[in-house]
């Protein structure tokens, strides 16, 4: 197990470095820097600004400095657009918001998805099964940028029940629509995976044994069938997590929740490269770590996996 | 003892009668596909949507760039869908004909999906086949590269690319092409691993065929079934990716448009009572996605030997 962890880390760490260097090289390849404006700055001013941000140094030195600062101090440097704020400030402001509704979406997607999948599997080929499958097929093609306008249309414009945007410190009524919009397509996928793996498990011999010794169905499901059926789902959680972080860009922009996605898109329009890079790297590191945790969990839970 | 001539003739006759016309595997698959009613309907719907994207402009009363000055500024009152003024789907906030815009957007969205899927088929299949056939260290390194690329949050990198190199449709194609082949490479590799131990590959090796030729002549054709399935299922995913980026305003730029950009515009305008501006692009988007999903599922049932 230990050697497996080491080996996985040996892949994860270079991946993170490659990501950092790659995004840095991209930034150099950009035609026109962040300080190009309509009115060209006097050369002396430009030189001063570039010296301040360290852009006058040779490329290799800039890369080394940047990587060193990120790795050793978790310092993504100053924002190119907002002179009084660093990238760290921006992340510190936006990330808790993203994390809050991301967490709730994750919970909602897993709980609803698993329930739907299990119910469909238990009542295989009944109207309940068809209903659950229908819902999950329908929801799968409803990505967050489709769900968000539909939800606002129905619940804000027509019914007037919930606010169509804003954050307000994360009060529950501001959370509901973002969480639904973000989790819809994921609970659909989870339900489909859960249903097929549950069906497979229910046909296994040990379930028949459990039934034969007279256990009630509910106990068989909870005690015996659920755990092995959850295994295939585990490997989907990695991509689902990535999708939710990515989806948060839409949620932030559409609902003005003020998470990192909003800063990312704003900096994309402002060509504020340091903020974009900081957020890309942050998300990349999170993704890699999350996948690592899922893989380790998988290896730990499933004895069949050799590592 | 030899059978008499009469018996022999009878035997030949019987053999001829019993002989059924041979069916290729593809023909088998086509028959299975045709039996799947949902997939056939979805295929017809796709055909209609493609026809709409290709020829819809012929029936439009307005071009996609023309501004109808007579209704501009009063879209909510006068811009609603009507046959009378030629705006079948209504007008957008600038007074442009939404029908013509939806035709244009559908075309571009489908094109993005097809191009990305094409890149995936070309690059991913070859990459996976080479990795799988080579095996050993080459395979290991090639698949590690895929692993590393897959763990990068590509939506963010794609946006970074678009911002840095300018938001053009070419850049979007390049970016989507960069992502799309990864999954295909994995699938193709897995399939190659099982194909390369078959007798016909062994026979090819024994007769001295070069590795590259084996891959192209013997491996890739046998991958085609699974490749076609995943290429079809990839298209809706790529359409979603493109729409995602266009929704943010970072993808397709005016005067060009895509379904994602139209949905975005509609979502911004809907509070002004111009709901058609959201519903028509959204409808086409969803129907296209569902159609691709169902066709892909049908193809999988027809072509993937595992699920039979």
Counting Cβ atoms within 10 Å, is residue A35 exposed (0-12), middle (13-18) or buried (19+)? middle
Write out pLDDT tens, residues A215-259.
888 888 888 888 888 888 887 887 788 788 888 888 888 888 888
Q: Is the pLDDT confidence value at A33 over 70? A: no
Write out pLDDT tens, residues A37-56.
666 677 777 777 777 777 77
Per CATH, domain B25-52+111-307 is 1.10.287.110 = no
Q: What is the pLDDT of residue B308?
A: 42
- Nearest chain A residue to B144 by CA distance is A11
- Nearest chain B residue to A278 by CA distance is B156
Choose the mutation target among A7, A141, A185, A199 for the interface with B, i.e. most B CBs under 10 Å.
A141
CB distance from A29 to chain B under 8 Å?
yes
User: Within 10 A of A198 (CB to CB), how many other CB atoms are there?
Assistant: 26
Q: Hey, are the CB atoms on B152 and A153 less than 8 Å from each other? A: no
Q: What is the pLDDT of residue A5?
A: 80
Q: Hey, are the CB atoms on A276 and B244 less than 8 Å from each other? A: no
> What tokens does A90 get?
């921006």
Rounded distance between C-alpha atoms, residue B92 and residue B134, angstroms = 55
CB distance from A218 to chain B under 8 Å?
no
Q: What is the pLDDT of residue B74?
A: 66
CB distance from B153 to chain A under 8 Å?
yes
The CA-atom distances, in angstroms, between A190 and each of A183, A185, A186, A258, B233 are 10, 9, 6, 28, 18
Rounded distance between C-alpha atoms, residue B49 and residue B52, angstroms = 5
Rounded distance between C-alpha atoms, residue B199 and residue B212, angstroms = 18
> What tokens does B104 get?
């244009």
Give the closest residue to B100 by CA, choosing from B58, B46, B50.
Answer: B58
Domain ranges of chain B: 25-52+111-307
- Nearest chain A residue to B246 by CA distance is A145
- Nearest chain B residue to A247 by CA distance is B244
- Nearest chain B residue to A270 by CA distance is B163
Q: What is the pLDDT of residue B307?
A: 47
Q: Hey, are the CB atoms on A145 and B144 less than 8 Å from each other? A: no
Q: Is the pLDDT confidence value at A23 over 80? A: no
Write out pLDDT tens, residues A95-114.
888 888 888 899 999 999 99
Which residue is associated with the tokens 């028959």? B31
- Report how far apart the first and last C-alpha atoms of chain B are (Å, whole number): 46
Rounded distance between C-alpha atoms, residue B282 and residue B89, angstroms = 12
DSSP per-residue letters across chain B: -PPPHHHHHHHHHHHHHHPPPP--HHHHHHHHHHH-HHHHHHHHHHHHHHHHHHHGGGG-SS-SS-B-TTTTT-HHHH-S--STTS-TT-B-TTSBBHHHHHHHHHHHHHHHHHHHHHHIIIIIHHHHHHHHHH-HHHHHHHHHHHHHHHTS-HHHHHHHHHHHS-S-HHHHHHHHHHHHHHHHHHHHHHHHHHHTTSHHHHHHHHTT--HHHHIIIIIHHHHHHHHHHHHHHHHHHHHHHHHHHHHTTSSS-TTS--HHHHHHHHHHHGGGT-THHHHHHHHHHHHHHHHHHHHHHHHHHHH-GGG-
Half-sphere exposure of A186 (CA within 13 A, CB side): 28
Q: What is the pLDDT of residue B77?
A: 67
Which residue is associated with the tokens 């899927």? B117
- Nearest chain A residue to B279 by CA distance is A150
- Number of A to B CB contacts under 8 A, please give it: 109
Interface TM-score (ipTM) > 0.90: no
Q: What is the pLDDT of residue B131?
A: 92
Q: What is the mean pLDDT of chain A?
A: 81
Q: What is the pLDDT of residue B207?
A: 92
Alpha helices (H) in chain A, listed in sequence order: 2-29, 43-52, 59-73, 87-122, 127-140, 144-151, 172-202, 205-212, 217-219, 226-255, 260-270, 273-301
Q: Which residues of B touch A242 (CB under 8 A)?
A: 153
> Which residue stretches of chain B have pLDDT < 50?
307-308
List all residues of chain B from 269 to 308 with a beta carbon under 8 Å from chain A. 270-271, 275, 278, 282, 285-286, 289-290, 293
Q: Which residues of B touch A151 (CB under 8 A)?
A: none
List all residues of chain A from 251 to 270 with a beta carbon under 8 Å from chain B. 253-254, 264-265, 268-269
Q: What is the pLDDT of residue B2?
A: 57
Q: What is the pLDDT of residue B129?
A: 92
Write out pLDDT tens, residues A265-274.
888 887 777 8
- Nearest chain B residue to A285 by CA distance is B152
Give the closest residue to A250 by CA, choosing from A239, A259, A237.
Answer: A259
> What tokens does B22 get?
């041979």
CB distance from B266 to chain A under 8 Å?
yes
List all residues of chain B from 221 to 240 with a beta carbon under 8 Å from chain A. 236, 240
Q: What is the pLDDT of residue A307?
A: 54
Q: Hey, are the CB atoms on B153 and A284 less than 8 Å from each other? A: yes
Rounded distance between C-alpha atoms, residue B132 and residue B127, angstroms = 8
Q: What is the pLDDT of residue A153?
A: 82
Q: Is the pLDDT confidence value at A34 over 70? A: no
Give the closest residue to A102 by CA, choosing from A169, A189, A192, A175.
Answer: A175
Q: What percent of chain A has pLDDT over 70?
A: 94
Q: Which residues of A touch B148 (CB under 8 A)?
A: 11, 14-15, 18
Write out pLDDT tens, residues A115-165.
999 988 888 888 888 888 888 888 877 888 888 888 888 888 788 787 777
The CA-atom distances, in angstroms, between B239 and each of A143, B1, B112, B201, B280 are 11, 71, 7, 37, 17
Rounded distance between C-alpha atoms, residue A205 and residue A211, angstroms = 10
Q: Which residues of A touch B248 (CB under 8 A)?
A: 249-250, 253, 265, 268
Q: Hey, are the CB atoms on A30 and B148 less than 8 Å from each other? A: no
Q: Hey, are the CB atoms on A268 and B163 less than 8 Å from each other? A: yes
Minimal Cβ distance to B153: which of A141, A268, A287: A287
Rounded to the nearest 5°, which phi and psi values hold at B224? -55, -40
Choose the mutation target among B38, B150, B164 for the interface with A, i.e. most A CBs under 10 Å.
B164
CB distance from A6 to chain B under 8 Å?
no
């Amino acid at each position: 197990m230990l050697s497996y962890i080491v080996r996985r880390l040996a892949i994860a760490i270079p991946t993170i470095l490659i990501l950092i260097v790659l995004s840095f090289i991209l930034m150099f390849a950009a035609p026109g820097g962040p300080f190009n404006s309509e009115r060209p700055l006097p050369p002396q001013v430009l030189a001063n600004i570039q010296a301040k941000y360290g852009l006058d140094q040779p490329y290799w030195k800039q890369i080394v400095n940047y990587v060193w600062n990120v790795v050793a101090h978790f310092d993504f440097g100053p924002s190119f657009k907002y002179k009084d704020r660093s990238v760290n400030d921006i992340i510190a402001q936006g990330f808790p918001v993203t994390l809050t509704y991301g967490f709730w979406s994750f919970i909602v997607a897993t709980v609803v998805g698993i329930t739907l999948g299990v119910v469909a599997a238990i009542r295989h080929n009944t109207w309940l099964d068809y209903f659950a499958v229908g819902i999950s097929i329908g929801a799968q093609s409803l990505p967050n940028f489709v769900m968000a306008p539909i939800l606002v249309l129905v619940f804000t414009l027509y019914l007037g029940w919930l606010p169509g945007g804003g954050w307000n410190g994360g009060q529950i009524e501001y959370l509901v629509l973002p969480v639904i919009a973000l989790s819809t397509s994921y609970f659909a996928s989870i339900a489909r995976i859960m249903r097929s793996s549950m069906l497979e498990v229910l046909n296994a011999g040990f379930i028949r044994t459990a039934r034969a010794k007279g256990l009630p169905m509910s106990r068989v499901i909870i005690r015996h069938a659920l755990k092995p059926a959850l295994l295939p789902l585990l490997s989907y959680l990695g991509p689902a997590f990535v999708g939710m972080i990515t989806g948060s860009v839409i949620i932030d922009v559409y609902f003005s929740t003020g998470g990192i996605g909003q800063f990312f898109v704003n900096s994309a329009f402002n060509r504020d490269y340091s903020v974009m890079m900081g957020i890309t790297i942050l998300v990349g590191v999170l993704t890699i770590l999350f996948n690592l945790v899922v893989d380790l969990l998988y290896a730990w839970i499933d004895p069949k996996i050799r590592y | 003892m030899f059978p008499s001539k009469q018996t022999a003739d009878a035997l030949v006759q019987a053999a001829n009668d019993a002989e059924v016309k041979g069916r290729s595997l593809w023909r088998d698959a086509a028959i299975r596909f045709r039996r799947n009613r949902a997939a056939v309907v979805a295929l017809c719907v796709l055909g209609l949507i493609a026809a709409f994207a290709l020829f819809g402009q012929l029936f439009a009363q307005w071009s996609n760039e023309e501004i109808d000055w007579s209704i501009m500024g009063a879209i909510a009152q006068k811009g609603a869908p009507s046959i009378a003024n030629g705006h079948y789907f209504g007008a957008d906030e600038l007074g442009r004909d939404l029908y013509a815009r939806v035709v244009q957007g559908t075309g571009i969205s489908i094109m993005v999906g097809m191009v990305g899927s094409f890149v995936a088929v070309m690059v991913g299949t070859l990459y996976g086949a080479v990795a799988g056939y080579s095996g050993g260290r080459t395979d290991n390194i090639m698949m590690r590269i895929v692993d590393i690329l897959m763990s990068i949050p590509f939506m963010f990198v794609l946006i970074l690319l678009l911002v840095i190199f300018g938001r053009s449709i070419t850049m979007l194609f390049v970016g989507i092409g960069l992502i799309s082949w990864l999954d295909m490479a994995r699938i193709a590799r897995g399939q190659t691993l099982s194909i390369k131990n078959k007798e016909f590959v062994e026979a090819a090796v024994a007769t001295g065929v070069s590795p590259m030729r084996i891959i192209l002549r013997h491996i890739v054709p046998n991958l085609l079934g699974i490749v076609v399935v995943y290429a079809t299922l990839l298209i809706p995913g790529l359409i979603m990716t493109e729409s995602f980026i266009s929704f943010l305003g970072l993808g397709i730029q005016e005067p060009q448009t895509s379904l994602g950009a139209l949905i975005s515009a509609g979502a911004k305008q809907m509070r002004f009572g111009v709901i058609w501006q959201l519903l028509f692009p959204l409808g086409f988007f969803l129907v296209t996605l569902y159609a691709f999903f169902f066709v892909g599922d049908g193809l999988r049932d027809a072509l993937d030997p595992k699920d039979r």
